[in-house]
Structure 1
Amino acid sequence: METFIAVVIIFGLLISFHEFGHLLLAKRAGILCREFAIGFGPKLFSIKKKETVYTLRLLPIGGFVRMAGEDPEVIELKPGHRIGLLFNPQQMVSKIIINQLNKYPNAKVITVDSADLERDLYIQGYEEEYGERLTFSVDRKAEYVTDGQEFQIAPLDRQFGSKSVFDRILTIFAGPFNNFLLALIVFIIMFLLQGVPSDKPVLGKLTADDPATKAGLHQGDRVLTINGNAIESFSEIASYINKRPNKDLTIKVERDNNIKTFHVTTAKNEQGQGIIGVQQPFEKSVGKSIKMSFTQSYSMIKLELQALKQLVTGAIGIDQLSGPVGIYTITGQVVNYGIFMIMQWTAMLSINLGIVNLLPLPALDGGRLLFLFAEALRGKPVDPKKETLVHFIGFALLMLLMIVVTWNDIQKIFM
C-alpha cells in the first residue's frame, strides 16, 4: 500500500508540473486551454475555473492540456442546423444550444444559414417563429451547450496555430523545462532538510551493531588521527579505512573538547573494502543547498544522456529499459530507505521525463518542437494532415515499445 501511495504521489507530481508548464505558457500566449487533465480515461473529478476545466482521470500514466486549435472543433454549425440562442446584456450571443432545446424555453430558436465563429463571429439564420432571416453577433467567450455540457468557442486568435512560432515553441518546451525545474526544487528541499554532504573529518550517522558503534564512537566525533596519521577530511577517513579490511585501527577523536582514543577492527563489505559503519557528515546551509542542487541536477542530466547514448549505440538493449511496472517495483524498494531516498528518486524520474519528452520523436514534445523548428526555417507550417499522420504513427510505435518494456518488467519480477 505504501508503494502504491508513493507511486500515485510521485507520478501525480511529475505529470502536474509537466502539464502546468504547458498550461502556464499557453495562457501567457493567449491560447484558449479547454482542459487540464491528470491521467487518461474516464473522469473521476472535474472542476471548471474560468475557461479551463481541471480534471482527474482514472489512469495516472500521463496527462494533457487540450488547447484550442490543436484538434478539429468538436462542434461545427452547418446550414440547416436547428439551434437555440441565449444572449448577454449587450444582446450578443452568449450560449449556443446544440440539442435538448426543450430545456431552454427562453432560447431563441433558429435554423442556421451560415456561421463564422472564428473570424467574424456571427451566426445567420431563420427565426423559427416568424421565418425572418437574422444575423446575430457572437460574444468572444460564447459557449456551445450540448448534452448539458458547455464548451467555449475558440476565435482564431485564441487558437494554438494562430500564435507566433516562438510562442508555440515556448508553450511546448515549458513542459519538459518544468520537469527539470521540479528536480531542482526537490533537491533544494532535500538538502535544506537533510543537509549538504561535508568533507570535514567528522563522523556522520553510525550504523547500529557495526564496528564503530561497538567501539564506542559517536556521531559528531572529530577524527584527529588514525594509527597516528593526521586526518584532515572525511575523504581521508574513508580512503584509509577502505584500504584496510579486517584490520585493527587506533582512532583518536575530539569530543566535547576532550581527546579520546578508540580501538576499532574494520569489517569487509561485498567489494572487499574495509568498513566501520560510518556515514559522511552533513551540514545545513541555504547557499550550499542551492549550489549542491544545481550540481546534482547537472550530474543526473549527464548520466541520463550517457544512458541514452548507450541505448542508441546498442551498448545497452531495450530489455534494460523500465516501464510503469519496473518503476513501480523500484519505487517499492526506494520507499524502504526513507523520505530522502524517495525525494532523490522523484528528482531522477523528473529529469528522465524531461529528457525523454525532448527526444525528437513523433507524439512527444520533442517531435512537436521538431515540426515547429521546421516551420521557422521554411517560413510556413508543415501540412497539418501530414504532421497528424506522423504523430499518430509515432504514438502507435511508442505504445508498442511500452508494451514490450512492460512485458520485460513483468518477466523480471518472476525471474
Structure 2
Amino acid sequence: MILGIVFVIIFLSILVLVHELGHFLAAKKFGLLVEEFGFGLPPRIWGKKIGETIYSINALPFGGFDKIYGEDREESLSKQSELHPNAPKKTRINNTRIIEAELSYKLTELLFQAQNQLGRFAREKQYGDVLENLLKEANIKYKRELPISIENSNSNRIDFFIEDKVVLELKSKRFIDKNDYYQTKRYLNSMNVELGLIVNFREPHLKPKRVLNPKFRVNSEQEKLLSKDHSDLFVDSDGIRSFGSLPISKRSLIIFAGVLMNFLLGWLVISIVFNLGIPQKILITSVAKDSPAAAINLQPGDEIIDFSKVDDFIKFVDENRGKEIVLKIERQGEVKEFKTVPRVKPPSGEGALGIALMESGLPKKNLLASVWEGLKTSIGIIQEVFKAIFNLIAKAFVGKANLEQIAGPVGIVKITAQAGSLGFIYLLQLLALISLNLVVINILPFPALDGGRLLFLLIEKIKGSPLPLKFEKYANAVGMAFLLLLMLVITIKDIMRF
C-alpha cells in the first residue's frame, strides 16, 4: 500500500504539472505576464526569478500551479482599485477615459512611422533618434533624456517628455513587464503629470500602453469610450499583458491548453508502451466453484508461468486429464507451485480445471506504428470514458446511478500498487489511462473545471459581457463543493470495498 501511495503522489505531480504547463506555455505564447510557475503547492521552499517569472519548488508535492496576471478577476479588480482609487467603480480596461487624446493619436502615428523605418529589432537609441526627427517635423515640443530626481537619486532619465504633458518611454525588448509600468508611474509622480506612454517596438503589432497617474481624479464627464478602430491602442496599464485583456478566443485556448497537454501526455505514454511492448502472459480471470482450481485456491489475477498462449496451456491440460500436474503460478511477485488433477468429464460450460483465461501483453512495434496506435488507442479511450460518464449521468436522473465502478483516492492507490507489482510497463499504462480520464473530466462544462470556465467564456461571447463576478465565484464554489462531496462518497465506498 505504501508503494501505491508513493506512485500516486508521483502520478498526481506529473499529471497536474503537465496540465499547468499547458496553461503556462499558452499564456507565454500570447505574451501574457506569468508571475509564477511552481512545482508542488505552497508554502514555497525555493524560488528563482528568471526574466519576469518566478520558478518555485513548494512544500506539498502535489502537482503544480501557474499564476497568470489578471486570470483571477477578483484579484485583478482589487489591483485596479489600488492603482486608481479615484476612478469610478464601473470603469473597465476598454473604456478608460481619453487623456490628451489628440496628442496621443499624433504620437501613435509617429511611433508607427518610426517602427516602419527601422523594423522591430533596432536599438532603443535608434528609435529615439528617428522619433526625434519626426517630432521636429511635426512641430511637437519635447525634451529628450530629461534627468529627474526620484528618492534623492538623479540617475533617472525620461526618454521623452512631450509638450510638458506626456511621459514617453521607448522599449525594444521581448515584452513590457510590471517593472516598466511602475517605473513610468514613478516618473509621473515625480513630474506631477497625468499621462505616460510605454511603447515596445519589438512587438509585431505596435500597441502603445497608457499609464495613468492615480493622483489625478477621473472626470466622468470627459470622453470615456474610444472608437472601435483604436480601442486596442490605448489601454490603461492594468491591462498590460493581462489575461482579461485578451480576446475570448485566446483566453479559451489558454484554458484548453491544459486539457490538451494531458491528452498529449496520455498519447505519448501509450505510444511508449506500444514501442516497448508488454511480455505475453496468461492470466486467470475467474475460478469456478467446486472445481480443481478452487480446491487448490487459484485466484483471479494469478499468472500461469511457462505458457504464453492460452491454446498451448489448454492443450497441455487436456493431454493430462486424470493425471496429476504441477502448475507454476505467480501471485503478487511470488512464484508458487500447485499440484492438481484435471477433470476427465467437467460440467458443461467449464474446462478441466474450472478456470477462465486471458492472454495479456503486446508485441513490440516500430516508432511510427507505435505513435499511430497510441493515437488511435488514446482517442478510443476518451470515447469510452465519455460514454461511461454520460451513461452514469443519464442513470443518475432516474435514480439508477452506480458508483461501484468509479475509483476514488483509496481505489486508485490500490490499483496503482497492483500495477506496480506487475512491472513498470503496467504503471505507464495506468499513468496514460488516468491522464486521458482527466482530459474528459476536465473538459466537462461544469463549474470549477476547465470546461466550466470555457462555458462562462461562451456565455460572455453570446451576451457581449462577462458574467457577474459574484455569480461566477458562487458557481465555482458550489461546483467545487459538489466535486468534493462526490469524492468523499466514492472514497467511503472504496474503503468498504477494499
Picking from 350, 360, 371, the partner of 1:290 is: 371
1:170 maps to what in 2? 253
Check if 1:410 corresponds to 2:495. yes
Structure 2 CA distance for partners of 1:310 and 1:125, relative to 1, 3 Å = closer
2:50 maps to what in 1? 49
Structure 2 CA distance for partners of 1:279 and 1:26, relative to 1, 3 Å = closer
1:26 maps to what in 2? 27
TM superposition score normalised by structure 2: 0.56
The 8 Å contact of residues 15 and 38 in structure 1, kept in 2 or not, is answered as no
Structure whose residues are more often strand by fraction: 1
Picking from 293, 302, 305, the partner of 2:386 is: 305
Check if 1:334 corresponds to 2:419. yes
Structure 2 CA distance for partners of 1:85 and 1:374, relative to 1, 3 Å = farther
> Secondary structure of the equivalent of 1:30?
coil
Following TM superposition, by how much is the alpha carbon of 1:21 offset from its aligned partner in structure 2, in angstroms?
0.8
Identity %: 32
1:69 maps to what in 2? 70
Structure 2 CA distance for partners of 1:124 and 1:280, relative to 1, 3 Å = closer
Structure whose alpha-carbon radius of gyration is higher? 2
Cα deviation per residue 1:200-247 (whole Å; 9 max; x = unaligned)?
xxxx5689x99883xxx8x7xxxxxxxxxxxxxxxxx646866x7941
The 8 Å contact of residues 181 and 211 in structure 2, kept in 1 or not, is answered as no
Q: How does 1:120-199 map onto structure 2 within 5 Å?
A: 120-123=210-213, 155-194=238-277
The 8 Å contact of residues 17 and 65 in structure 2, kept in 1 or not, is answered as no
How many correspondences in the alignment? 332
Q: After the TM superposition, which of the residue ranges 169-178 and 69-78 deviates more from structure 2?
A: 69-78
What is the Cα-based RMSD across aligned positions, in Å? 4.4
The 8 Å contact of residues 39 and 59 in structure 1, kept in 2 or not, is answered as yes
> Secondary structure of the equivalent of 1:35?
strand
Listed as ranges, the gaps of 5+ residues in structure 1 are: 98-106, 127-152, 198-203, 220-236, 250-264
CA distance in 2, matches of 1:386, 1:116: 36
Following TM superposition, by how much is the alpha carbon of 1:113 offset from its aligned partner in structure 2, in angstroms?
11
Following TM superposition, by how much is the alpha carbon of 1:368 offset from its aligned partner in structure 2, in angstroms?
0.4
CA distance in 1, matches of 2:319, 2:449: 58
1:231 maps to what in 2? none
Structure 2 CA distance for partners of 1:212 and 1:334, relative to 1, 3 Å = closer
Structure 2 CA distance for partners of 1:188 and 1:370, relative to 1, 3 Å = same
CA distance in 1, matches of 2:428, 2:19: 17
Cα deviation per residue 1:39-62 (whole Å; 9 max; x = unaligned)?
434223333222222333344445
Following TM superposition, by how much is the alpha carbon of 1:288 offset from its aligned partner in structure 2, in angstroms?
2.0
> Secondary structure of the equivalent of 1:121?
strand
CA distance in 2, matches of 1:284, 1:309: 34
Following TM superposition, by how much is the alpha carbon of 1:90 offset from its aligned partner in structure 2, in angstroms?
4.9
AA at the equivalent of 1:47: K
CA distance in 2, matches of 1:393, 1:40: 23
1:248 maps to what in 2? 319
The 8 Å contact of residues 419 and 430 in structure 2, kept in 1 or not, is answered as yes
CA distance in 2, matches of 1:123, 1:288: 61
